Amino acid sequence: MRQAYSLLLAAATLPMLAYLWWRGRADPRYRQRWGERFGHAGADAARAGVVVVHCGSVGEVLAARPLIEALLADARWGRPLVTCTTPTGSGQIRSSFGTRVDHVYFPLDLTRAVRRFLYLWRPRLVILLERELWPNFLHTAQGQGVPVVVANARLSEGSAAGYRRWRSIMQPAIATLRLVCCDDPTTAGRFTTLGASPQRVAVTGNLKSDLRLDPALPERVASMRTALGERPVLTAGSTHAGEDEALIDALRQQLAQAPNTLLILVPRHPERFDAVAALLERAGLRYVRRSADRLPDADTQVLLGDTMGELMLWYGVADACFVGGSLIPRGGHNPLEVMALDKPLITGRHTHNFAQMIATLRAAQAVREVDDATGVFRCLEEFRHDPGARAVQVACARQVFDAMTGATARTLALLEPFARHRAVPAAPLQSRHGATTIWVDPERFDAARGELFDAAWWQRQGASQDRSAGRGRVREVHDAAGQGYLLRHYYRGGLMARLIRDRFLARPLARSRAMAEFLLLGQLRARDLPVPQACAARHVRRGLFYSADILVALIPDATDVARLLHHERALSTPQWQRLGRAVRQLHEEQVFHSDLNCHNLMLDARGKAWIVDFDKCGFRAGDDWKADNLARLLRSLRKELRLNPGLRWSEADWPLFVAGYDSPPQPGD
């Protein structure tokens, strides 16, 4: 189904570009920076190892501000890359953070665009705001071992129902999420039902509750309010088509009884600014546009807020505030900005996007809910004539707001494990000669040379000996300095081995056997996991097939568990527990080891546990497979016991391993 989704999205690319071009009539920025939408970024712009914070548009950027500021204040996170999908969101990012963050557009959910974006930036963590869940992005990030979390997650019943209809696509995507920090318990339950692991879903609250007002805002509000004079002011923020018309009609009725009323009308989407101005013209109302840099005079009836980033100012000068998207079945918008400014809040009945918050406000008598636009102005009049009731509602809303604070701290506490050990491996050195491609780790070798896979060359450097391992043969080699390596040629298993012993059907280079293991080991070592270093890999194209080799650093003085139990000694309780913790570290990073057995677990002379042989392994979503992975290891121990009744292992040792698996990492592991 995901492949079908990808094909459908690819077919829709030209219509999407046409749509962007059409949107560019009102906002020319839609016709710019298209390369970024396909994952391109200038070579001088992309920086490996960034933390990506993705915000869909303006609302998500504003919600993310407390979190981004907290990331900027902690040097461990580095300089974030903040992405969005709209020009207005881009403008808000630059307005809020300037040059303190990097910024590009988020790629379209096309497989190649997503891969290009992840390759260029190689992020160590991606934080999605609210509900920016794109199947191809989540699938590709999972395959590359990039952890993705959702912060400030919100999911209405309508959105959840849509995801359920596309369950075959969305459930695997949602299962890849490493952490979901939800606004409320209802959202947490919906994410769990849709496939998120319950252990990875937490209720942290709404990030906007930690909103810190611009220190300059009170002075701006006071100055603007003085300019407006002593007149009733209603701000209607984030309004939509259908609401603007209703509010304009209701204002005309309001003016009949309160002629000096001023409506500050702030449409949600900038492309509607001109359309709303035309509505005001047809209604015969006297209005000014904020973009014209004019202030209302005593005769002005409507101030059209057609600029970006000033909604807090307009809420601040109002006697009462209406939050749009709620008179129509849009679901409402976040009321926290009104509450932060201690203004009386008015909404319509359609607030399902914030159902939990509105229910809390309703129970605290901290919100007025109305059925139509006339009711909005009726509330304004009630607040004017009953200042005591207005003060009580504002005080109740402040109590609710204060109780909600701390979402940023709770979110950061859950993100803490991602702040550690998230280095990005260096890009391999590469050489290509005819059908042969060689990669080497620049930490080990200064050039990608073919002799690294020549046993005779190694024999001239130092010692060389054969080892049996798995279904093939591994050669242990040493350089002149005594550094040891294991040189392994890839062989097939099963019935196919009789037909094509060491040939594999051609596939993209990075996904071929040797190169995939090379890249995976580099990622795991960058995260301080107990795995060997992949030093070189070779891919040789042979028509429709290829053969492959890998060179891995030898772990000094290490012996595999099977050999220890067969020929040397039983393991101590601490050793079993270290092995358990090593496997747990792997699983915590969502790494699936396809052949987890006692031959691929090792202990060195210091007692440190290691895991080896990562052929056909990779990152896997969810948690259900982990128990099966452990069961495979247990079966391998039982098999060795059947082969050798004198094996120094018994079923009583297994709980020791499990105890280690269930315990936190220890110093020295």
454-467: b (≥16 Cβ within 10 Å) or e? eeeebeeeeebeee
pLDDT at 309 over 90: no
Longest dimension (CA), the chain: 101
pLDDT at 420 over 90: no
pLDDT at 422 over 80: no
pLDDT at 42 over 70: no
Per-residue pLDDT at 550: 97
Per-residue pLDDT at 458: 87
Residue 473: strand, helix, or coil: strand
Q: Where are the domains of the chain?
A: 35-205, 220-404, 429-553, 558-661
Supply 282's token pair. Answer: 């047809």
Per-residue pLDDT at 466: 67
Per-residue pLDDT at 469: 52
Asked whether the domain spanning 220-404 has the same topology as the one spanning 35-205, the reply is yes
What is the pLDDT confidence band of residue 127, given thresholds at 50, 70 and 90? very high
What class has domain 35-205?
Answer: alpha beta
Per-residue pLDDT at 97: 94
Per-residue pLDDT at 419: 85
**Contact between residue 203 and residue 153 where contact means Cβ atoms under 8 Å apart:** no
Say what percent of the chain tops pLDDT 90: 79
What is the pLDDT confidence band of residue 448, given thresholds at 50, 70 and 90? very high
Pick the CATH number of 220-404 from 3.40.605.10, 3.40.50.2000, 3.30.390.10, 3.30.420.10: 3.40.50.2000
Per-residue pLDDT at 41: 82
What is the pLDDT confidence band of residue 625, given thresholds at 50, 70 and 90? very high
Per-residue pLDDT at 303: 97
Closest CA to 71 of 54, 51, 45, 93: 51
Residue 190: strand, helix, or coil: helix
Q: Which amino acid appears at position 595 of this protein?
A: D
The pTM of this model reads 0.83
Per-residue pLDDT at 468: 56
End-to-end CA distance of the chain: 42
- Name the average pLDDT for the chain: 92
pLDDT at 237 over 90: yes
Residues catalogued as catalytic: 60
Architecture of domain 558-661: Orthogonal Bundle (1.10)
User: What Rg do the C-alpha atoms of the chain give, in angstroms?
Assistant: 31
Integer Cα distance of 325 and 351 in angstroms: 8
Per-residue pLDDT at 624: 86
